Chains A and B, each alone.
Chain A
Amino acid sequence: MQATFQQFRDDIDQANDRRERLIKASRDVTNISKKTIFLLHRIVLEDSSDDRALAARAASSARQKLTEANAIFAAMRPELAGDLFWRFQRQVSPGLQEYIEALSFAHYLDPESHGSLISYQQVQDALSDANGPYFPLTTSDYLLGLSDLTGELMRFAISNITRRGGRPKANEICAFVRDCKSDFERFTPHVRDLSKKQYVTASSLEKIETAAYALVVRGSEYDLPPEMLDDLVAQTTSRFGRGDEDHDV
């Protein structure tokens, strides 16, 4: 009996060690993905006359940053081969969802993708190298990762709203988030935790809607085309915003 239990101990230890390694790796991926998201927010808010070029640069820098996460995923491949994937899926999920959030944000901002939602296949392709996928992408990780994207878009829309061209952009994002919410709705019975995330999406959506509403109401008091309003605001903010520099003196 001692020998049998010795064998059990080895099996259990091996699984526990693997679990610990995957939890650590997943945490590292989360960390990289969070940094990527901040990076995206930082770049798109830089001053620039060419928003398209800015967005393209943001997307490519983000993808560059995410290659660090890809290296971690590639190293996880042998740990998740065959039936191991589903055994440890719960340990991999948190980092993976964060990664999908960052990836989908970069994808959305990239002018090449024309403001579209990254597809399931595109995510699976991103999680692959020359030897094929690192591991299978589950529909639930895909949907839950995308669901977090709506929160980032809300932040982006609101911090962007006072910039030139920020209002049409905010409206665009508003429509996009609304579409996401309605597309995801049918999946809620099949994906655990999705309904909770839908609730968060709803509140993000409401924040964008409120901001868009305020701008319409205030803008209506001035009988000026939107671009002139932009100029007016830009002039005023630049006069104050750069007080500590010497540009205007």
Chain B
Amino acid sequence: MDPVDLEKLNSLLEHDVGVNEKIKEQVKEFDKKIRIIVGILGKIHSTPSGSMPQLIESVQPVLLSCREITAAIADVIPRDQFWRWKDSWSNSIRAAVFASALIEYLRTGTLISLARVSSEILGIQDEWKDRFSLPVEDYLHGLITMVNELARYSVNAVTLGNFEEPMKISAFVKELFSGFIMLNLKNDSLRRRFDSLKYDLKKVEEVVYDVSLRKLAVPVK
């Protein structure tokens, strides 16, 4: 190979290595934050509903600080190369979606929109579009993790004496499921995780069954 050409290729590859290293650094910080957030959210299973607002308040600042990470990553990604590098942080961002969605549910009982996670929580800006965005797949992955967690929460809420919660969760999760079922998913990890949702639904249904049979819950309305 011509020495000039060899050098050119080498510098192109070195540049990629540089980008990769900078992303890795940020992802490491991202994961640290995620671990703190998931750690705190793990306590919902043992927190009575009265103390839930304080618990959620305590996660909020850490979650919002993830904006620093998204901005730093967007800064190092070369133009049009979002999809080239996105796999490096997809696990972290899915976890961030999970946390945002779970908090939103606990606070308002509703589903957080993709646009809200993306811009209001993670601070992702429209003009980063070709360098950093939140793809539908990652958002959906985060929602499935939330359903997994809510199924567990329905059980533990009952243990804490909150008999209404499983009813709410059941209605919420069923509606979400009816959304998922509209999608034509290809055979990938999202599809496999979607397939496992039915077990979560079943779990919640069983709790609802147990609670209603024993007339523990006061009917809603």
- Chain B residues in 8 Å Cβ range of A12: 136-137, 183-185
Q: Which residues of A contact B (CB under 8 A)?
A: 1-2, 4-6, 8-9, 11-13, 16, 82-83, 85-87, 89, 116-117, 119-121, 139, 142-143, 179-180, 183, 186-187, 190-191
- Chain B residues in 8 Å Cβ range of A143: 9
- Whole-angstrom distance between the alpha carbons of A180 and B8 in the complex? 16
B89 interface contact, C-beta 8 A: no
Against A, the Cβ 8 Å flags (1 = close, 0 = not) of B111-140 are 101100000000000000110000011001
Distance (Å) between the CB of B126 and the closest chain A CB?
13
B189 interface contact, C-beta 8 A: no
- Whole-angstrom distance between the alpha carbons of A190 and B10 in the complex? 10
> What is the interface of chain A mostly: helix, strand, loop, or mixed?
helix
Distance (Å) between the CB of B36 and the closest chain A CB?
30
- Whole-angstrom distance between the alpha carbons of A6 and B136 in the complex? 12
Give the contact stretch, choosing among B97-105, B144-152, B174-182: B174-182
The 6 A-B pairs of least Cβ separation, nearest first, read: A5-B179, A87-B83, A86-B83, A86-B84, A83-B130, A190-B13
B5 interface contact, C-beta 8 A: yes
User: Once the chains bind, are A82 and B130 in contact (CB under 8 Å)?
Assistant: yes
CB under 8 Å from chain A, chain B span 1-26: 1-2, 5-6, 8-10, 12-13, 16-17
CB under 8 Å from chain A, chain B span 75-93: 80-84
User: Once the chains bind, are A2 and B2 in contact (CB under 8 Å)?
Assistant: no
- Chain B residues in 8 Å Cβ range of A11: 136
- Chain B residues in 8 Å Cβ range of A5: 179-180, 182-183
Distance (Å) between the CB of B199 and the closest chain A CB?
21
Interface size on B, residues (CB 8 A): 34
- Chain A residues in 8 Å Cβ range of B214: none
B186 interface contact, C-beta 8 A: yes
> What is the interface of chain B mostly: helix, strand, loop, or mixed?
helix
- Whole-angstrom distance between the alpha carbons of A2 and B179 in the complex? 6
Q: Which residue of A lies closest to B184 (CB)?
A: A13
- Chain B residues in 8 Å Cβ range of A9: 182-184
User: Once the chains bind, are A180 and B176 in contact (CB under 8 Å)?
Assistant: no
User: Once the chains bind, are A139 and B12 in contact (CB under 8 Å)?
Assistant: yes
Partner of A183, one of B1, B130, B179: B1
Given contacts A12-B136, A191-B13, contact A119 B80 (CB under 8 A): no
- Whole-angstrom distance between the alpha carbons of A6 and B181 in the complex? 10
- Chain B residues in 8 Å Cβ range of A187: 9-10, 13
Q: Which residue of A lies closest to B6 (CB)?
A: A183
A-B contact pairs, 30 of them (CB 8 A): A1-B175, A2-B179, A2-B182, A4-B113, A4-B114, A5-B179, A5-B182, A8-B140, A8-B179, A9-B183, A11-B136, A82-B130, A83-B80, A83-B81, A83-B129, A83-B130, A86-B81, A86-B83, A116-B2, A119-B1, A120-B9, A139-B9, A139-B16, A183-B1, A183-B6, A187-B9, A187-B10, A187-B13, A190-B13, A190-B16
- Whole-angstrom distance between the alpha carbons of A180 and B179 in the complex? 54
Against A, the Cβ 8 Å flags (1 = close, 0 = not) of B17-39 are 10000000000000000000000
- Chain B residues in 8 Å Cβ range of A117: 1-2
- Whole-angstrom distance between the alpha carbons of A143 and B13 in the complex? 11
Q: Which residue of B lies closest to A16 (CB)?
A: B186
Given contacts A8-B136, A120-B8, contact A179 B83 (CB under 8 A): no
User: Once the chains bind, are B136 and A190 in contact (CB under 8 Å)?
Assistant: no
Q: Which residue of B lies closest to A146 (CB)?
A: B1
- Whole-angstrom distance between the alpha carbons of A9 and B178 in the complex? 13
Distance (Å) between the CB of A189 and the closest chain B CB?
9
| 20 additional contacts (CB under 8 A) given A8-B140, A8-B179, A83-B80 | A5-B180, A11-B136, A12-B184, A16-B184, A82-B80, A83-B81, A83-B82, A85-B80, A86-B81, A86-B83, A87-B83, A119-B1, A119-B2, A120-B5, A139-B13, A179-B1, A183-B1, A186-B10, A187-B9, A191-B13
Q: Which residue of A lies closest to B2 (CB)?
A: A119
Partner of A4, one of B9, B129, B179, B185: B179
- Whole-angstrom distance between the alpha carbons of A12 and B191 in the complex? 12
- Whole-angstrom distance between the alpha carbons of A1 and B9 in the complex? 49
